[in-house]
Structure 1
Amino acid sequence: MHSASSGSDDSDPIQKILKWIADAGINGLGGLPSAEQVAKDHLSKADNVEDAIDSVIAWRTTYAAGTGFITGLGGIAAMPFTIPVGLAASYALGANTAAAVACLRGHDIHSDQVRTMVLLCLIGTEGENILKTAGITVGTKLLQSTIKKIPGKIFIEINKKIGFRLITKAGQKGVVNIMKIVPLLGGFIGGTFDSIFVHGCGKTAKRIFS
């Protein structure tokens, strides 16, 4: 049974963005398979769960660096919000990577609590710091059993902080300006940025989902 702890509000544009990212990452989107399918595929070719997790992160990082992965997702133009398509695709791929890691570690990725944790992986160490301020210790075996016990109001606050961080990231100019100024290098810079971002999401997921 799903908890109502995520505190999502369909009338809130930021929460719409978070819901879309989580849905795309967990359930898949176009050519992006579901996190459960990704986890199953990599586990079938690995010697153990940890090797499968490393394989997921390596594969997704390489995939993000390639050109054309955005168009390969399909359906991304139907987003219910306006942030750069390339950034939305990166968020979806990062969430897919984090959710696959969570799945391999035995978490229920369809629960509201774990959906929030998946989104936290998109903001890296900031996400871990948010957990710490909420009194949640990262990197302990207790986390898996304690996630379900975290009060709903904590998740509401966590979601608000995630939304703020992601929207701030969407508004940052650095990489976007470089890509506009040097269009020939745009694809390379974008791919490098995406691969670093997705790799970071996977590494954060390894620490959060113990």
Structure 2
Amino acid sequence: MASDLTESKVQQALEWAYDKALNGIPGTGTAEELAKQYLSDNESPLDAVNSLIRWQNTKAATSGFLTGLGGIVTLPVTIPANVASVLYVQLRMIAAIACIGGYDPKDDRVKALAYACLAGSAAKDILKDAGIVIAQKIALNSLKGISRGTITKINQAVGFRLLTKFGTTGVINLGKAVPILGGIVGATFDSVTTNVVGNVARDTFIPSAKTVAA
């Protein structure tokens, strides 16, 4: 239930989902593998990301894809499965976009930016409050200026934003999650919200992306 959730539990869910996005869940590839696939199938990083976002809005939202998330049942018991499944799929997309842009998703600074992307249109405000302005793709060398304190501030702000997005049903607004046959968690994603999250990640990690729609 939403009333049982706290910011610390949301942070736990973020950490779990990001780890699974990078290291994989049985039946699904890692974010890096996803990035390599789309880079090989497209002419440019921007094309690869746009294609990935389109795919995320369609095939990734089908029950056929989500039934492969068997590993989702290994999530921490204190985290609602619907929340963890949504965060996993969204963060896998964001981390793959970061990879396509040439970033190392294992870097804590990149992870903090990935978390911020989950906030969608609120991401810029979160980063601005932390002293980071996204007028264009964040340069790789500028990441060095992001301190540990700034990372903590971003993560806390994202955790608070996500916590406030839990309604009385306990379903996060980043998507809608429902149990499916066999007890495996599946999700029907709001394609509009998913598209916003993907576009924010593209604006953050891919050069010259702002003037091109997915």
Question: Could you say which TM-score interval applies, normalised by the shorter chain?
Answer: 0.7 to 0.9
Give the count of matched residue pairs.
188
Task: Specify whether residues 35 and 125 from structure 1 end up closer, same or farther in structure 2 by C-alpha distance, changes over 3 A only.
Answer: same
The verdict on how the C-alpha distance between 1:26 and 1:198 changes in structure 2, with shifts beyond 3 A counting, is farther
Higher share of residues assigned helix: 1
Moved more, 38-47 or 75-84: 75-84
Stretches of structure 1 lacking an aligned partner (at least 5 in a row): 1-11, 180-189
Deviations 1:31-67 (CA, angstroms, capped at 9, x unpaired)? 2211110011111111111111111111121123312
Q: Is 1:95 matched up with 2:77?
A: no
One of 188, 199, 203 as aligned partner of 1:191: 188
Partner of residue 103, structure 2: 107
CA–CA distance in structure 1, aligned partners of residues 138 and 93 of structure 2: 22
Contact 2:35 2:97 in 1 (8 A): yes
The offset of 1:174, in angstroms, is 8.9
Cα drift, residue 98 of structure 1: 0.7
1:119 is aligned, of 115, 120, 129, to 115
Return the match for 1:208 from 188, 196, 204. 204
1:13 to 9, 14, 19: 9
Distance change (3 Å), C-alpha of 1:150 and 1:175: closer
Cα distance, 1:85 vs structure 2: 2.2
After TM superposition, the structure 1 stretch with the greater mean CA deviation from structure 2, 99-108 or 20-29, is: 20-29
The alpha-carbon distance between structure 1 residues 142 and 126, as it changes in their structure 2 partners (threshold 3 A), is closer
Structure 2: unaligned runs, 5 residues or longer: 1-7, 177-186, 207-214
Q: Name the residue aligned to 2:150.
A: 154
Taking structure 1 as the reference length, what is the TM-score of the superposition? 0.79
Question: How large is the RMSD of aligned CA atoms in angstroms?
Answer: 2.5
Contact 1:116 1:159 in 2 (8 A): yes
Deviation at 1:202, TM superposition (A): 1.1
Q: Residue type matched to 2:188 in 1?
A: G
TM-score (norm 2): 0.78
Instruction: Give the C-alpha shift of residue 167 in structure 1.
Output: 2.4
Within the alignment, does 1:36 sit opposite 2:32 as a pair?
yes
Is the 2:57–2:195 Cα contact (8 Å) retained in structure 1? yes
**Is the contact between residue 31 and residue 73 of structure 1 (CA under 8 Å) also seen in structure 2?**
yes
* Whole-angstrom CA distance in 1 between matches of 2:205 and 2:27: 26
User: Does residue 65 in structure 1 map to residue 61 in structure 2?
Assistant: yes
Report the alpha carbon displacement of residue 91 of structure 1 after superposing the two structures with TM: 1.2
Q: Match for residue 3 of structure 1?
A: none
